[in-house]
Amino acid sequence: MSTIAHARSHAVTHAWRGVVAGIVGGVVFGVLMAMMGMLTTIASMVGSDSAVVGGLVHLVISAGIGLVFGVLAGSFADRLWPVLGAGVVYGVLWWVLGPLIAMPMMLGMPLFGVDQTAMTSLMGHVVYGLVTAVALYGLSRREA
């Protein structure tokens, strides 16, 4: 296999592991969101008020964000502490990009609204990042 083909194969592997890990993190975070009644807010991004729709949208977003995490962290995903640290940072990054910027823009709300709900969301995003990192670590260790 050529060097380019080998690198492409690794990128695809990292991406798919990231998708799976992102879905695992998304399920855990989704359960927390469901307990707080937040899935209807996610659904409103696509013009719905259904918690089921919100859950599906959340999982699609989680898979996409996980894919990017898998590509970015895949080269060190078999080392627990570095990938956990990256997961926390990644969760905080997506907290800023999602609930503080993208969602308010889509829903006509003020940007960077940091209140109790936003702080609870920060905790959820950190949990997402940690669970996604642990899942990616597990998937990477299986073949190491």
pLDDT at 144 over 60: no
- Residue type for 72, please? L
- pLDDT category of residue 1 using cuts at 50, 70 and 90: low
Q: Do 129 and 88 touch, CB atoms closer than 8 A?
A: yes
Number of folded domains in the chain? 1
| Domain boundaries, position 39 | 2-141
Q: What is the DSSP letter of 46?
A: T
Can you give the pLDDT at residue 8?
80
What pLDDT digit, counting tens, does each position of 75-108 carry? 999 999 999 999 999 999 999 999 999 999 988 9
Helix (H) or strand (E) holding 6: helix 3-35
In this structure, the chain runs to a length of: 144
What pLDDT digit, counting tens, does each position of 7-45 carry? 688 889 999 999 999 999 999 999 999 999 999 999 999
Q: Is the pTM of this model over 0.85?
A: yes
Average of per-residue pLDDT across 114-118: 93
Q: What is the DSSP letter of 1?
A: -
* HSE value, Cβ hemisphere, 13 Å, CA-based, for 141: 10
Q: What separation, in Å, do the N-terminal and C-terminal C-alpha atoms of the chain show?
A: 19
Quick one: angle between helices 51-73 and 3-35, nearest 10? 150
- Residue type for 115, please? D
Question: Exposure pattern of 122-142 as b/e (b: 16+ CB <10 Å)?
Answer: bebbbbbbbbbbbbbbbbbee
